[in-house]
Each structure stands twice: as structure tokens, then as C-alpha cells.
Amino acid sequence: MSLQHQQNLLAKLYTDAEFRRAFLSEPEKIGAENDLDEAEIREIAAIMPEELNLFANSLFWKRLREVEKFLPVTHKVLGADFTKNFREFSQTFNPQTVKKHFEDALEFCRFLRAQEVSDLAKSAAKFEESKLEFFGFEKRLVVCRLDYDVRMEIPKKKIAVWLRIGKRIKHFYI
């Protein structure tokens, strides 16, 4: 098995709780289904379940803390539900680029907008997704229509605009 394939499998093992449970209960079967040879299965299965779960949990909390830094408005609006939603999201998404925390934050915004969360939370996620796209992809112009004034947390139609002119950046909230 290639090193890249091994790394991807370990990443899935650490980030996907259901896959981890399946592997720990039937390492030979799950290992074979994922193209591991017997030696690789034994090597991974030799990791104590407690160590595996501890490491997986520490990765989750690291990812969460980094995403919270990118999404302060959404984090404030969702409160404790931020962690609950991020746990659900993290089970299904594994960033692939070198900007893993940025990619996590951007995809989490998209995930939230498709979930059963408040309209205010959806507006906050849309606002921060637009901001991330502007700065992360160095766009010249991003316009975002919102159903909520996310600064005041009230239902009021707003438009957020980010504009880049040369090296100058302007942000308007209309």
C-alpha cells in the first residue's frame, strides 16, 4: 500500500468514529476492504483502542478550536450547538488541501447552511463563508445578501460587500 493511501486510511480512522468502531471490532475485515495487507492490519490493530480514541478526540478538539477562530460570529450565534454541529460535520468531511483549517471552516459554513439551524445562524454562516472566500481566494469583490443583521442579531435584510482595490480593502455593510 502506498504511503498516501496509508495516511488517508489513518486520517479516516482518526476522524470517522463509525469507521474507527468498525475497524476496532473487525480489524481483518475492515483492513482487507481497505487494501491493507496482514502486516499493516496487525500494526494498526496493535494500537490500543484507548490511545486511538484519545488521539482521535484530541484531533477533533484541535480542529474545532481552529475553526472557531475563523468563525467567531457563527460560534457566538450557535453557542453550544456549534460544537454539536461541528462534531456531526467532522464525521463526514476530511480536509484535503494544505490550508486544512481554512478548508474546514469554509466547508463547515456550507454544511451549516444546509442544516436545521436558526435563520440567524444560517445568515452568520453565509456572512463568514463570504468573508473567507474574499480573503482566502483573494477575490476582488464579494457580495453577500443576508436575511439577518448578524452584527445586531435581528431579522433585517442586509448586504455585506468586500471590495479589493489594489492593496486596499473596503468592507461595507448596507
Residue range 2-48, pLDDT digits in tens: 677 777 788 788 878 888 889 888 988 998 898 888 888 888 888 76
DSSP letter for each residue of 26-41: -HHHHHHHTT--HHHH
Residue 1: the pLDDT is 61
Q: What is the pLDDT of residue 135?
A: 96
Beta bridge partners of residue 162, listed in sequence order: 142, 171
Tens digit of pLDDT for each residue in 51-87? 877 888 888 899 999 999 999 999 999 999 999 999 9
d(CA 59, CA 97): 17
Cβ atoms < 10 Å from Cβ of 1 = 12
pLDDT tens, position by position, 102-137: 999 999 999 999 999 999 999 999 999 999 999 999
Q: What's the confidence (pLDDT) of residue 56?
A: 81
Query: What is the pTM for the complete model shown?
Result: 0.77
The closest of 13, 116, 111, 107 to 60, measured between CA atoms, is 13
